[in-house]
A and B are shown apart, each in its own frame.
Chain A
Amino acid sequence: MKILIVDDSKAMRMIVKRTLRQAGFGEHEFAEAVDGANGYEQVEAFKPDLVLCDWNMPNMSGIELLQKLKSDGNHVSFGFITSEGTGEMRATAAENGALFLIAKPFTADTVKDALKGIIS
């Protein structure tokens, strides 16, 4: 399975990959993008099965990326991993088709639970 990690923080991309490995998903193929616009390009080039995306990013935010993909007719599995987890954001994410929103800080168990049924 191909997983694209979109986050403007290199530190957080490293943490997400480490946590995925700790959660038992280390054998999957990973790619990274540094913001929403780069994420959009990477979705085209890498053709991921799952996008794990930050919310607040320069150039194009996570929610803008999700909306752009949806308007293109691309229904790749999409989840947020973000610093903010207010009820309003969770509702907006769900309305736009996100499968989950994981608020930081997150553990391997949190990630495992969120990805249950999405990653075999």
Chain B
Amino acid sequence: MITGDTWLEATTKSLQEMADVYFDIGSMPKEGFDEEQDLKSGAMIGLVSPGNSVQIMLVASRRGSEILAKALLGFEPDEAIDAGDLADALAEIVNIVAGMVKTVVNEQDGNLNLTLPTFMTGSCRPLGTQLVTEGRLTLGTVEAKVIVIHSNPEANAKARVSAA
């Protein structure tokens, strides 16, 4: 089973590589991320196989998400972005990154399939049978957070025993 740290490292490196290719950092405004204050938004995608089940999430402030979406689409910083383009761009960021992560961990698990990427706002609450590994990063000029939610074999085993 692939560990949370391995997923997090692969995701963080892939996000940085994606940003290096697509973002024009010189034209991006800076944006911090205060988890207590800011309304969070971002996108998530799953990588699933018989041996692994993981959700990768990219989270930033609402304004940070808009900056990331505009950077991906090549919009000017002061150009308006509608809700559809914002959701589509953030979903595409995690879709690109999930494909890169799949390639990185392919030798450990060659049966992974990607789920559909999903735009989200608000907070996430993992279930008791799930583990969370998370880290902060700066994408271009935007502070963001990567959250990896993956299955917890011990909790799943306990749940199976109590069900029996």
Interface residues in chain A, defined as those with a beta carbon under 8 Å from any beta carbon in chain B = 9-12, 14-15, 18, 56, 82-86, 88, 103-107
Q: Is B5 an interface residue (CB 8 A)?
A: no
- Can you offer 13 A-B residue contacts whose CB atoms are under 8 A? A10-B84, A14-B73, A18-B74, A83-B96, A83-B98, A84-B102, A85-B103, A86-B103, A86-B106, A104-B18, A104-B99, A105-B96, A106-B21
Q: Is the interface of B mostly helix, strand, loop or mixed?
A: helix
Of B59-67, B87-95, B136-144, B148-156, which stretch is located at the interface?
B87-95
A83 near B88 with CB under 8 A, answer: no
Contact surface of B with A, Cβ cutoff 8 Å: 17-18, 21-22, 69, 72-74, 84-85, 88-89, 91-92, 95-96, 98-100, 102-103, 106, 110, 114
A11: contacting residue among B88, B102, B106, B114, CB under 8 A: B88
Return B124 CB to nearest CB of chain A, in Å. Answer: 23
Chain B residues with CB under 8 A of A9: 88, 91-92, 95
B102 to chain A, nearest CB (A): 6
When the two chains form their complex, are residues B114 and A56 in contact, meaning their CB atoms are under 8 A apart? yes
- Contact: A11 with B73, CB < 8 Å? yes
With a cutoff of 8 Å between Cβ atoms, the chain A residues found around residue B106 in the complex are 86
Chain B residues with CB under 8 A of A10:
84-85, 88
Please name 20 further chain A to chain B contacts, defined as beta carbons within 8 Å, in addition to the given A10-B85, A84-B99, A105-B22, sorted by A numbering.
A9-B92, A11-B69, A11-B72, A11-B85, A11-B89, A15-B22, A83-B95, A83-B100, A83-B114, A84-B103, A84-B114, A85-B99, A85-B103, A86-B102, A86-B103, A86-B106, A86-B110, A105-B17, A105-B96, A106-B21
A83 to B69 alpha-carbon distance, docked (Å): 17
Q: Which residues of B contact A82 (CB under 8 A)?
A: 99
User: Do B88 and A107 touch across chains, with their CB atoms under 8 A apart?
Assistant: no
Chain B min CB distance to A53 (Å) = 15
Instruction: Tell me, rounded to whole Å, the shortest Cβ–Cβ distance linking A110 to chain B.
Output: 9
B58 → chain A closest CB, angstroms: 14
Alpha-carbon distance between A105 and B102 when the two chains are bound, in angstroms: 13
A16 to chain B, nearest CB (A): 11
Name the residue of chain B whose CB is nearest to the CB of A107: B21
- Residues A12 and B99 in contact in the complex (CB < 8 Å), given A56-B114, A105-B22: no
Q: Measured between C-beta atoms, what is the minimum distance from B13 to chain A in Å?
A: 12
Q: Which of chain A's residues have a CB closer than 8 A to the CB of B103?
A: 84-86, 103
Residues of B within 8 Å of A12, CB to CB, are 92
Smallest beta-carbon distance A96→chain B, Å: 19
